[in-house]
Amino acid sequence: MNGTDSIRSLKGIGDKTEQIFRSAGIEMIDDLVTLYPRYYLTYEEPVSIADAQPGIRIAVCGKITNTPVYRQFKGLKITTCNIRDHSGSLGLIWYNMPYMRKQIHQGDSKIFVGTPVMKNGRLVMEHPEVFTEESYAKQREHLQPVYPLSRGLTNKMIIKAMSQTKEYMETAQEYLPDKIIERYHLQSYGKALKNVHFPIERQEVIEAKKRLIFDEFFIFLAAMRMVKEKTGVVQNQYIIRETKESRDFMEHLPFDLTNAQKCALQEMKEDLVKEEVMNRLVQGDVGSGKTILAVILLFMTVTNGYQGALMAPTEVLAVQHYETFCKLLEPYPVRIGLLTGSTKAKEKREIYQKLKDHELDLIIGTHALIQEKVEYNCLALVITDEQHRFGVKQREALYRKGLEPHVLVMSATPIPRTLALIMYGDLAISIIDELPANRLPIKNCVVNTSYRPNAYRFIEKQVQMGHQAYVICPMVEESENMEAENVTEYAKILKQNLPPSIRVECLNGRMKAVEKNRIMDEFGRGIIDVLVSTTVIEVGINVPNATVMMVENAERFGLAQLHQLRGRIGRGDSQSYCIFISGKDNDETKKRLEILNRSNDGFYIANEDLKLRGPGDFFGVRQSGMMDFVLADIYQNADLLKMAADSIELLEQEGFSFQNLQNERLKKQLELALQL
């Protein structure tokens, strides 16, 4: 078996299954083996039925007390039965699994594993797994991986395919130098792969993840090195100074800049006339006003006779920036274009032509901006907003095009300084550590689910006062589809709990870009009052009229991520409120959420978050997708990030070059890391 073999070579994968895997981005064996479990199910000793609690997954051993009942209801095929043990009884229910009725019989004693929920005042276990005593003993011998699922792709399908690659995993080529593996007591790549997919116990997962997370950091940092080695020191070909127009613009800003904004701006202005090209990161907490700096710098660029570009991670954000720029620069003859994935082909071609002919001065968009076909006439400044790893990829892409503009990366992710130095080792850093003066500190509260009705009343009141609200639904670990369903369902319930005059809409990651844009546009214009959303909302969105943020299941999010979410409010001069609903009452959750309750300062929160976590906490809450890592979390795995940075340094001291790599696998990994 070869890593580049199609998954078609596996048993049980025909046309249809291949297509399903393909739409989840899995085409070759290597794609499959790097699809890591989201979490693992453990199979614990059965407990008494009387100890069952809603929402907590358990195993119970019980006797089926009736003939299973099968019925169809609203298109659902429902199988139900009851079980009993010495302590009490419990209902079981399966949806759309009609074959279950043939697999269970009155009088059978079985072990059932599942999560009980409250239904019509009674505890019922939905979709329990059924075991005999023997099969349960076998099941308990290992951990059961749960993979990220998508449309049509089930855990069973993945496990079946994965089980055929065990041997391949064990012999997968190593790409870390031996020295590093020994020094940091890492597992071999092959062993880590095998253990992450087929662990017998938690310790194996911990060891495996340590290695794989180390790899993610190592590859990221090595890619950064590679680009740096390649590009070397870049001469500044674009001297950008203040002009009459840019001074005029500064005099007519809608507000006074804060001192921190002024300082950062000053540092960048100095960069723009230096001998070397600018490479800078502006780190400013959410709402600190980074966008206006981008407007000022890009306008300066244009009035110096050059072109500028602003890149955002999502279309929604790109559209928002485009509108801000058009509004602020309206009095000036600046030609601004918008280029995203939804731009029609014909329009795209026109934009390409105009960029080439310098008929456009500014272009705003997603990473479509630096794709191969785009040619610029005189691109002097590229700014990226909230695209952290993009900084590296983008420089590589620009370099390949032979472009050497100034580069500015703007980020609201609060990273403790020690980590920032590693993540952004090659960038100069400006920090905006002050919020505009008109802001009132956000009022926070952490409450349990029984407070929900009060929260709804509160939202209602705020909307009646003319404000708007966000409600964030919990993440669904298994799949984006289920998450989408969840949000829609929640919005329905919320509607029933609010007066009909209040317009509630929902937003999720599965929606088409045009649909998302429409909803965000309507929310921005105040047509929608309450937006129910997944975390797709977290980055960059600016609707200053929104004053309430309610986060369901706050305990499932990382603190840095919660802080980002909260950053969507408190952006205007009205008092804003953040309601964290916690579904869990334990001490650890309380302690974590208390940090947010106490402080609105992102850097403080990030530091506290770091302190609260022990090293190697691989089972804790992960900040979903933050910084684009798959397994790694810079907060949680700060120790491994440092290790990876140290090893790169060690290798470099010994003359290791990331440009002329001998190891094919490492070479490929680095290329992948730099792909847009």
Part of the chain binding ligand ADP (CB under 6 A), chosen from 38-46, 90-98, 251-259, 332-340: 251-259
Residue 385 and residue 366: Cα distance in Å, rounded?
10
Concatenated DSSP letters of 67-120: PPEEEEETTEEEEEEEEEETTEEEEEEEES-TTHHHH--TT-EEEEEEEEEEET
| Contact (CB, 8 A) for 596 and 581 | no
Percent helix, strand, coil in the chain (nearest 5)?
40, 20, 40
Q: Which stretch binds ligand ADP (CB under 6 A): 30-38, 280-288, 368-376, 549-557?
A: 280-288
474 binds, among ligand ADP, Mg ion, none (CB under 5 to 8 A by kind): none
Residue 571 CB, shortest distance to Mg ion, in Å, is: 10
**Cβ-based nearer residue to ligand ADP, 341 or 544:** 544
Tell which one of 37, 46, 284, 365 touches ligand ADP (CB under 6 A). 284
Give whichever of 139 and 258 is closer to ligand ADP, judged by the CB atom. Answer: 258
What is residue 251's DSSP assignment?
Answer: H
Q: Which of 291, 430, 582, 669 binds ligand ADP (CB under 6 A)?
A: 291
Long-range contacts of 45-51 (CB under 8 A, 24+ apart): 46/111, 48/85, 48/86, 48/87, 48/88, 49/83, 49/84, 49/85, 49/87, 49/88, 49/89, 49/90, 50/87, 50/88, 51/87
Q: Which is nearer to ligand ADP, 203 or 438 (CB)?
A: 438
Q: 226 or 310: whose CB is closer to Mg ion?
A: 310
Closest approach of Cβ 565 to ligand ADP, in Å?
A: 12
3-state secondary structure of 483: helix
Q: Are strands 546-551 and 468-472 parallel, antiparallel or unpaired?
A: parallel
Nearest 5°: phi and psi at 401? -85, 0
| 588 residue type, one letter | E
Site for ligand ADP in 258-277 (CB under 6 A): 258, 261
Residue 580, classed as helix, strand or coil, is: strand
Range in contact with ligand ADP (rule: CB under 6 A) among 28-36, 233-241, 283-291, 338-346: 283-291
Tell me the closest approach of the beta carbon of residue 438 to Mg ion, in angstroms.
17
| CA atoms 305, 311, 407, 328: torsion sign | positive
**Smallest gap from residue 579 Cβ to ligand ADP (A):** 21
- In 449-529, which ranges are E strands? 468-472, 504-507
Report the residue number, 258 or 607, with the smaller CB distance to ligand ADP.
258
Q: How far is the CB of 435 from ligand ADP (least distance, A)?
A: 8
- Ranked by CB distance to ligand ADP, the top (closest) residue is 289
The strands making up 362-365's β-sheet, listed across from edge to edge, are 336-339, 362-365, 307-311, 379-385, 406-411, 279-284, 428-432
71, 88 in Cβ contact below 8 A?
A: no
Residue nearest to Mg ion (CB): 540
Nearer to ligand ADP, 164 or 542 (CB): 542
Would you count residue 289 as binding Mg ion (CB under 5 A)?
Answer: no
Q: Total binding residues for Mg ion by CB under 5 A?
A: 1
| Cα 572 to Cα 165, 545, 568, distances in angstroms | 54, 7, 10
What minimum distance in Å lies between the beta carbon of 501 and ligand ADP? 27
CB atoms within 10 A of CB 235: 10
Minimum distance from CB of 576 to Mg ion (Å)?
Answer: 17
Smallest gap from Cβ 516 to ligand ADP, in A, equals 18
Contacts 24+ apart (CB under 8 A), 159-166: 160/12, 161/7, 161/10, 161/12, 161/13, 161/21, 161/32, 162/32, 162/33, 162/197, 163/198, 164/10, 164/11, 165/1, 165/10, 165/29, 165/32, 165/33, 166/194, 166/197, 166/198
Q: Give the Cβ contact number of residue 278 at 10 Å.
A: 25
Whichever of 70 and 603 has its CB closer to ligand ADP, that residue is 603
Binding residues among 395-454 for ligand ADP as defined by CB under 6 A: 412, 436, 438
| Binding piece for ligand ADP, criterion CB under 6 A, among 17-25, 80-88, 252-260, 393-401 | 252-260
Return all residues near 607 (Cβ < 8 A) that are at least 6 apart: 416
Whether the CB-CB separation of 605 and 560 falls below 8 Å is answered with: yes
Question: Between residues 289 and 337, which has the closer beta carbon with respect to ligand ADP?
Answer: 289
Number of residues that bind ligand ADP (CB under 6 A): 19
Closest approach of ligand ADP to the CB of residue 288, in Å: 4
Closer Cβ to ligand ADP, 562 or 674, answer by number: 562
| Shortest reach from residue 578's CB to Mg ion, in Å | 18
Which one of ligand ADP, Mg ion, none interacts with residue 287, CB within 5 to 8 A by kind?
Answer: ligand ADP
Decide: is 310 part of the binding site for ligand ADP (CB under 6 A): no
The residues near 416 (Cβ < 8 Å, ≥ 6 apart) are 603, 606, 607, 610, 638
Minimum Å gap between C-beta 54 and ligand ADP is 39
Q: Which of residues 563-592 bind ligand ADP (CB under 6 A)?
A: 571
Task: Tell me how far apart the alpha carbons of residues 666 and 608 are, in angstroms, rounded to a whole number.
Answer: 35
User: Hey, how many other C-beta atoms are within 10 angstroms of the C-beta on 331?
Assistant: 10
Q: Residue 32 or residue 596: which is nearer to ligand ADP going by CB?
A: 596
Q: What b/e string do you get for 551-561 counting C-beta neighbours within 10 Å, with b at 16 or more?
A: bbbbbbbbbbb
Smallest gap from residue 568 Cβ to Mg ion (A): 11
Binding segment (CB under 6 A) for ligand ADP, from list 79-87, 155-163, 253-261, 416-424: 253-261
Min dist CB 602 to Mg ion, Å, is 13
Choose between 114 and 284: whose C-beta lies nearer to ligand ADP. 284
Exposure of 153 by Cβ count < 10 A (0-12 exposed, 13-18 middle, 19+ buried)? buried
Nearer to Mg ion, 540 or 558 (CB): 540
Q: How far is the CB of 385 from ligand ADP (least distance, A)?
A: 7
Q: Are 509 and 480 in contact (CB under 8 A)?
A: yes
> Is the Cβ of residue 116 or residue 540 nearer to Mg ion in the bound state?
540
Q: Could you tell me how far CA 451 lies from the centroid of its own chain?
A: 28
Q: Which is nearer to ligand ADP, 290 or 592 (CB)?
A: 290
Q: Which positions from 525 through 544 interact with Mg ion, judged by CB under 5 A?
A: 540
526 near ligand ADP, judged by CB under 6 A: no
**Does 289 help bind ligand ADP (rule: CB under 6 A)?**
yes
Least distance between ligand ADP and beta carbon 325 (Å): 12
**227 touches, from ligand ADP, Mg ion, none (C-beta below 5 to 8 Å by class):** none
Site residues (CB under 6 A) for ligand ADP? 255-258, 261, 284, 286-292, 412, 436, 438, 542, 544, 571
Site residues (CB under 5 A) for Mg ion? 540
